[in-house]
Amino acid sequence: MSAGPHTLTGTRIRERRMALSRRQADLARAVGISPAYLNLIEHNRRPVSTELVERLAAELEVPADELAEGREEVRIAALREAAVHPAGAGSVPELDQVAEFLARFPGWAALLIAHARRAGALERQLVDLSDRMTQDPYMLTTLHEVLSAVTAVRSTAAILVEEDEIAPEWRQRFHANLHQDSQRLSLTAQALVAYLDSFEAEGNAATPQEEVEAWLAQGGDAPADLSSDAARDMAAQVQADLLADRQALPDRALLEAIPLAGTPPDPVLMAARLDLPLDLVLRRLADLRPAGFEGAGLLICDGSGALLLRRAAQGFALPRPGDSCALWPLFQALAAPQSTLERAVALPDGRLFRTLSHATRSQPRGLAGPVLSRATMLVVPADGPAPADTLSIGPACRICPRNGCPARREPSILVPQLPVRPARGL
Amino acid sequence: MQLDILMIEDEPNIAEAVRFILSREGWQVGLHPDGAGGIEAIRAARPRLVILDLMLPNRSGAEILAELRAADDSTLASTPVLMLTARGQAGEAASGADAMLTKPFDNADLRAQVRRMLA
């Protein structure tokens, strides 16, 4: 990976270590690297991985982003974010004087940043709760269950009370139905209350999808520990899918295919040798993360571009669910099903990744049914100089600093942008 | 014997209650328990009225309604449809129906609505 974007990270690590009066050897031992390697990092002569930054940050008792990006840059970005918040409509903050404001009034700046972050967190929580109430499949299904049971109870009870001369066998049948529906109603109501209770759990602002992604990133064990029924249901489905994939392509077969697939290993060649679908091979590589695919992640979307599965690659921070960058090769693959698109991509911070994207089409309901598309993108962290045709991508427009991007949908909160000019089309 | 009413509803206890209520009025009522095969059931039964639940497994009531209205057979395509919906979910999805009834409904309202549609 290029050391360019991280040139100052080593300096910040060194400054922070010295501010704490810690010896280089002690810190190196604490984070599991050699003192010589830490010395190279501190002199900006070696790149430092995201994972190592996080370990160093924990030891040095600072947020990881302050080490990686620098305290000043983080604070300036936070102030810019606060300045463009819609709540400030009507006021015109002096954006060109952000750095001066921070330098002259660090206490006020810190207070403003804290308030903006608090407001942002509350807004996100509100949006998440609103999404759950209106779009959450678990909530909709549960409410449908309640409504169905109530409808059955009301109609059946009214028959028993209002209708004359009901035959004994029908009366008995309707009583049994009432009993059955009342039991179903009480169980569903209990599940709904438990689910609503999970909304109030401290720190549970994440959607079920985010919760499942975090669980998956931690190894995907014990889904029972997840906080909501919806997250547990989603995690169970993910586990079932992983198990089916592992049975279709066991670890051993996958590992044996890798050395025969060139350098770096070519998943298309592996799929051909194994005589298995490429999307299965891509999913298994992201699951097992064998040599050559360390830190790999996976994105799967349907034909509408909605992301069905998001498994972050190391160093590839995913945006919030529902957000994405239109330049991700995943979406380009949808236009060329059954072929495979290999593309090096670079994030705004300079991190490089090798991506392989593959789209498929299916007609599960036969010739008369709809054609369904699905694309899979394997994302593998890459080292070394960026290839000439590297595609510059972002996480999502709102948190992407790239100026003049042809795919930009909305202004960035990170840096002042040129006016957005949506591409014209038919 | 031709059915007066075909009800497409996946909740058996609702279907049973509705059939009991409407059968007492003298109408012949048939049931189909799934969204899948719904349009085929209508084609086969050619009822005078279809009572259609909006939220069905495998194929929604809205999809069945759209297929029915697009049928080549104009008599079949114009079969009256009473859509059963939850409040707030009907919207455009049920806009092709002749009438709607919100769950949970009053049995008397159901009877009156069906009587109007079969008159």
Contact A159 B21 (CB under 8 A): yes
Q: What is the pLDDT of residue A16?
A: 84
pLDDT of residue B55: 85
Three-point CA angle A383, A389, A395, nearest 5°: 70
Pair A184, A138: CB distance under 8 Å: no
Residue corresponding to tokens 């859509």: B83
Q: Is residue A211 part of a domain?
A: no
User: Is the residue at A208 inside a domain?
Assistant: no
Output the CA angle B44-A366-A249, nearest 5 degrees. Answer: 140
pLDDT greater than 50 at residue B22:
yes
Of residues B103 and A73, more confidently modeled: B103
Q: For position A2, what pLDDT does the model report?
A: 36
**Does any domain span residue A230?**
no
Mean pLDDT of A28-47: 85
Q: What is the pLDDT of residue A72?
A: 74
Measured CB to CB, residues of chain A less than 8 Å from chain B are 143-144, 147-148, 150-156, 158-159, 162-163, 170, 173-174, 177, 180-181
Q: A308 pLDDT band (50/70/90 cuts)? A: confident
| Residue in A147, A133, A121 with CA at minimum distance from that of residue A196 | A133
Residues of chain A with pLDDT > 70: what percent?
A: 88
Q: What is the CATH number of the domain that holds A415?
A: 3.30.450
Give strand pairing partners of A356.
Answer: A342, A378
Nearest one of A67, A77, A99, A94 to A400, comparing CA atoms: A77
Q: Is the pLDDT of residue A138 over 50?
A: yes
| pLDDT of A328 higher than 90 | yes
Q: Is residue B16 within 8 angstroms of chain A, CB to CB?
A: yes
Say which amino acid occupies A182: S
Mean pLDDT score, A396-404: 77
How far apart CA B4 and CA A62 sit, in angstroms, is 75
**Residues pairing with A357 in the sheet:** A341, A377
Name which of B11, B106, B107 is nearest A148 (Cβ-Cβ): B11
Question: Does the pLDDT value for residue A279 go beyond 90?
Answer: yes
Interface probe, candidates A142, A151, A166, A180, chain B, greatest B C-beta count within 10 A: A151
Mean pLDDT of A366-392: 90
Q: What is the pLDDT of residue A70?
A: 66
B104 touches chain A (CB under 8 A): yes
Q: How confident is the model at residue A422 (pLDDT cuts 50, 70, 90)?
A: very low
Q: Sort out which chain A residues have CB atoms less than 8 A from B17's CB and list them.
A: 152, 155-156, 159, 174, 177
pLDDT tens digits, residue range A60-72? 888 887 777 666 7
Most distant CA pair in chain B, distance? 37
Confidence of residue A302 (pLDDT cuts 50, 70, 90): very high
Residue A10 has pLDDT above 70, yes or no: yes
The answer on A315 and A387 residing in a single domain is yes
Specify the pLDDT at position A4. Answer: 38
Would the CB atoms of B107 and A155 count as touching at under 8 Å? yes
Domain of residue A113: give its range: 77-133
Give chain A's mean pLDDT: 83
| CATH number of the CATH domain containing B86 | 3.40.50.2300
Instruction: Give the count of domains, chain B.
Output: 1
Take residue A380 and report the two structure tokens written for it. Answer: 């593998």
A301 and A426, same domain (yes or no)? yes
Distance CA A79, CA A109 (A): 7
Q: How confident is the model at residue A132 (pLDDT cuts 50, 70, 90)?
A: low
Cβ contact (<8 Å) for B24 and A170? Answer: no
- Does residue A359 sit within a domain? yes
CB-based contacts of B18, cutoff 8 Å, min separation 6: A155, B7, B9, B29, B51, B110
pLDDT of residue B104: 92
In a domain, residue A361? The reply is: yes
- Percent pLDDT > 90 in chain A is 32
- The predicted pLDDT at position B88 comes to 58
**What pLDDT was estimated at residue A331?**
95
Question: Which residue range(s) make up the domain with B93?
Answer: 5-118
Chain B residues with beta carbon closer than 8 angstroms to that of A170 = 20
- At which of A162, A179, A199 does a domain end? A199
pLDDT tops 50 at residue A270: yes
Q: Give the pLDDT band (50/70/90) at residue A136.
A: low
Q: Inform me whether the pLDDT recorded for A152 exceeds 50.
A: yes
Q: Is the pLDDT of residue B114 over 90?
A: yes
- What average pLDDT does this structure show over B20-32? 95
Residues A420 and A345 in one domain: yes
Query: Edge to edge, what strands does the sheet with B81-86 contain?
Result: B29-32, B5-8, B49-53, B81-86, B99-103
* Residue A107 is assigned to a structural domain of this protein: yes
Q: Show which of A51, A69, A87 is a domain's final residue.
A: A69
Q: Which residue of B has its CA nearest to A179?
A: B13
Number of domains in chain A: 5
Secondary element (H or E) of residue A139: helix A137-162
Is B112 an 8 Å CB contact of chain A? no
**With contact defined as beta carbons under 8 Å apart, do A307 and A299 qualify?**
yes
Could you say which of A133, A157, A175 is where a domain stops?
A133
The per-residue pLDDT for A199 is 63
Report pLDDT for A3: 36
Structure tokens at A43: 């002199």
Pairing assessment for the beta strands A372-381 and A297-302 based on DSSP bridges: antiparallel
The predicted-structure confidence for A172-224, as pLDDT tens digits, reads as follows 999 999 999 999 888 888 877 777 766 655 455 466 777 788 788 777 777 77
Better-scored residue on pLDDT, A73 or B44 = B44
The candidate with the shortest Cα–Cα distance to A313, out of A302, A327, A328, A303, is A328
The burial class, CB within 10 Å (0-12 / 13-18 / 19+), for A239 is: middle
Residue A30 has which token pair? Answer: 């604490």
Question: Do the Cβ atoms of A173 and B18 come within 8 Å?
Answer: no
Three-state secondary structure string covering chain B: CCCCEEEECCCHHHHHHHHHHHHCCCCCEEEECCCCCHHHHHHHHCCCEEEEECCCCCCCHHHHHHHHHCCCCHHHHCCCEEEEEECCCCHHHHCCCCEEEEECCCHHHHHHHHHHHHC
pLDDT-based confidence at residue A414 (cuts at 50, 70, 90): low
Domain annotation covers residue A232 = no
- For range A396-401, the mean pLDDT: 76
| Least trusted range by pLDDT, from A173-177, A272-276, A347-351, A414-418 | A414-418
Residue A46 in domain: yes
Q: Does B106 touch chain A (CB under 8 A)?
A: yes
Please tell me what DSSP assigns to residue A418. P
Interface check for B58 against chain A (CB to CB < 8 A): the answer is no
Report pLDDT digits (tens) over A78-101. Answer: 888 788 777 766 777 787 888 888
Q: What is the mean pLDDT of residues A247-268?
A: 92
A227: left (phi over 0), alpha (psi -120 to 50) or beta: alpha
Give the pLDDT band of residue A8 (cuts 50, 70, 90): low
pLDDT in tens, B56-98: 888 889 899 999 999 999 999 999 999 998 765 556 566 789 9
